[in-house]
Amino acid sequence: MHISDGVLSLPVVAAGWIITVALLVITLRWGERDKSIAEQIPKLSIMTGAFFVASLIHVSVGPTSVHLILNGLLGVVLGVLSYPAMFIGLTLQALLFQHGGLTVLGVNTMIMGVPGLISYAVFKTGYKRNISLTALGALCGALATVLAVILLAVVLVTTGEEFVAVAKLAAVAHVPIMIVEAIVTGFVVAYLAKVKPELLPVDLGDKR
Partner 1 sequence: MTKEAVSIRDLNYSYPDGTVALEDINITIEEGERIAIIGQNGAGKTTLFLHLNGTIKSCDNNVVIFGKDIGQMKSKERIEKVGVVFQDPDDQLFMPTIFDDVAFGPINMGLDEDEVERRVRSALATVGLTGFEDRVPHHLSYGQKKRAALAAVLSMEPRILVLDEPTANLDPMNRASLIELINDLNRDKGITTIVAMHDVNAVSQLADRIYVLNKRMVAEGPPTEIFMDFDLLRENNLDAPDVFKLFSVLSCFGFNCESLPLSINEAVEVLTKTIEGDEKHVHLHIHEHTHEDLEVLMHRYDHHHG
Partner 2 sequence: MDYPEIDRYASLDSPIHRFDPRAKIITFVLLLISFVFVQKISVAFLALLFSLLLLLVSKLPIRFILKRVQIVLIFVLPLLIIMPLTVKGTELFSVFGISATREGLWYASLIVIRSMAAVILILTMLGSMRFDTTIKALYTLKAPKTLVQMLMFTYRYIFVIIDEFLSMWRAMSAKGFNPRTNMYGLSVMGNMVGMLIVKSYERGERVYQAMISRGYTGNPKTRTAFAMRRTDYVLSAIFVGIAILVHINTVMM
Considering only residues 154 through 193, tell me which ones interact with partner 2, judged by CB under 8 A.
Answer: 160-162, 164-166, 169, 180, 183-188, 190-192
> What does the angle CA 64 – CA 103 – CA 155 come to, to the nearest 5 degrees?
65
**Contact between residue 118 and residue 21 where contact means Cβ atoms under 8 Å apart:** no
> What's the min distance (Å) between Cβ of 199 and partner 1?
12
**Contact between residue 74 and residue 100 where contact means Cβ atoms under 8 Å apart:** no
Q: From the list 135, 190, 199, 202, which residue makes contact with partner 1 (rule: CB under 8 A)?
A: 190
> What's the min distance (Å) between Cβ of 36 and partner 1?
14
> What's the min distance (Å) between Cβ of 1 and partner 2?
9
Nearer to partner 2, 5 or 150 (CB): 5
Q: From the list 10, 38, 96, 195, which residue makes contact with partner 1 (rule: CB under 8 A)?
A: 195
Q: From the list 53, 154, 172, 204, which residue makes contact with partner 2 (rule: CB under 8 A)?
A: 53
Q: From the list 196, 203, 204, 207, which residue makes contact with partner 1 (rule: CB under 8 A)?
A: 196
What is 16-79 written as a DSSP string?
A: HHHHHHHHHHHHHHHTTTTS-HHHHHHHHHHHHHHHHHHTT-EEEETTEEEE---HHHHHHHHG
For 133-177, give the secondary structure using H, E and C: HHHHHHHHHHHHHHHHHHHHHHHHHHHCHHHHHHHHHHHHHHHHH
Binding status of residue 191 toward partner 1 by CB under 8 A: yes
Residues of this chain, 27-66, that bind partner 1 according to CB under 8 A: 42
> What's the min distance (Å) between Cβ of 87 and partner 1?
19
| Stretch in the footprint of partner 1 (CB under 8 A) among 19-27, 116-124, 132-140, 190-198 | 190-198
**Contact between residue 181 and residue 55 where contact means Cβ atoms under 8 Å apart:** no
How far is it, in rounded angstroms, from Cα 32 to Cα 61? 40
Q: Contact residues for partner 1 (CB under 8 A)?
A: 42, 190-191, 194-196
